[in-house]
Amino acid sequence: MIRRHPGRTGLIAGFLLHTLTVLGVWKTWGELGRGNLIAYMDFPISLFFLHLDGPPLLRWSLAAGGAQWAVVTCLLTLSLGWAARARAR
């Protein structure tokens, strides 16, 4: 089945997976470790909100980190599609 908008699917999947992961880390990790793990997950964009703590850190991670990972998954999806089409020729 050929999809018309694989990039959009990649964007949505990346954002949702990041959101679920960050919320899972936020719920299960203690206050000392969760900020560090979120900073590593969202690197390099986390350098802009590294000074925050508590709920502002969570909000910025969900917004900025989610956008970062949405773009990464979109580009990976598109590059995989381009590589598959080039190989099929």
Tell me: the pLDDT tens digits for 1-49?
556 788 888 999 999 999 999 999 999 988 788 888 999 999 999 999 9
The distance of Cα 41 from the centroid of its chain, to the nearest Å, equals: 8
Give the Cβ contact number of residue 32 at 10 Å.
7
Tell me: the pLDDT tens digits for 47-77?
999 898 889 999 999 999 999 999 999 999 9
Any domain includes 3: no
Any domain includes 50: yes
Per-residue confidence (pLDDT) for residue 72, from 0 to 100: 95
Any domain includes 86: no
Any domain includes 17: yes
Per-residue confidence (pLDDT) for residue 42, from 0 to 100: 93
- Which residues neighbour 77 within 8 Å (Cβ) at sequence distance 6 or greater? 6, 7, 9, 10
Q: Helices 6-28 and 66-88: crossing angle, nearest 10°? A: 140
Count up the domains in the chain and report the number: 1
What does pTM read for this prediction? 0.84
> Domain span at residue 68?
10-81
